[in-house]
Amino acid sequence: MTEHRRRIDIVLEPEYVADLSEASLDDLRRRRESAEDVETQISYYRRLLHGRLDLLNFELRRRNGQEERTLIEALPEILATGMTFGAEPNLRHIETMPPIPTTTGRRLIDKIMDDGILTQLPELTEEELTEAVDRLEEVEKELSVQRRQLHTVIDALQDEIIARYRSQQGETQPAG
């Protein structure tokens, strides 16, 4: 029986960055590219979660009388929030958007992550909205931990690649 493991599980295994000095430069680059791809997807999913959280939190504020605008009126502002850092979009490296994780449609989290969230908001109770916010925040924390772990892997791979280039330059420099 073949074991199917997610790419993130493979990249975060300690063996992925063990004995990097023994790996070829091409292998190091391949590993780094794979880790960066996984990090890009995690970042994308986090942004999706942030967007959902922004929508749900706005709806909670609106229902509590803290917001006078309708969700539709505030939507452009809500969707624009957090999409850029400085002058650069934070999703600039994504050429093809990764697929949204498959959901069953049975759990509240599945309903919230569905693209039809705007049409579902009026049907959700305040308790369901709060529960959804709590669950999305938990998932976001999990993704943030994974993202930090991925950065550690990417940094280790990048450090080894840089060390290789530096050692090659040192070998080719004329004695002095």
| Residue of 53, 54, 43, 44 lying closest to 134 (CA atoms) | 53
Q: Is residue 176 part of a domain?
A: no
Domain encompassing residue 50: 25-171
| Residue of 26, 22, 31, 6 lying closest to 153 (CA atoms) | 31
Is the pLDDT at 91 greater than 50? The verdict is no
From residue 111, give the alpha-carbon distance in Å to each of 59, 74, 90, 107, 132: 15, 21, 26, 7, 9
Asked whether 71 and 48 are in contact (CB, 8 A), the reply is: no
- Tally the domains of the chain: 1
Residue 93 pLDDT: 45
Residue 161 pLDDT: 95
Is the pLDDT at 55 greater than 60? The verdict is yes
Residue 82 pLDDT: 58
Cα-atom radius of gyration of the chain, to the nearest Å?
22
Q: Is residue 8 part of a domain?
A: no
| Residue of 40, 34, 29 lying closest to 13 (CA atoms) | 34
Q: Is residue 117 part of a domain?
A: yes
Q: Is residue 11 part of a domain?
A: no
Residue 176 pLDDT: 46
Q: Give the residue ranges of DSSP H helices in 64-114.
A: 71-80, 108-113
Whole-model pTM? 0.74
Q: Is residue 88 part of a domain?
A: yes
Residue 119 pLDDT: 75
Residue 93: in which H helix or E strand, if any?
none
Q: Is residue 2 part of a domain?
A: no
Q: Is residue 79 part of a domain?
A: yes
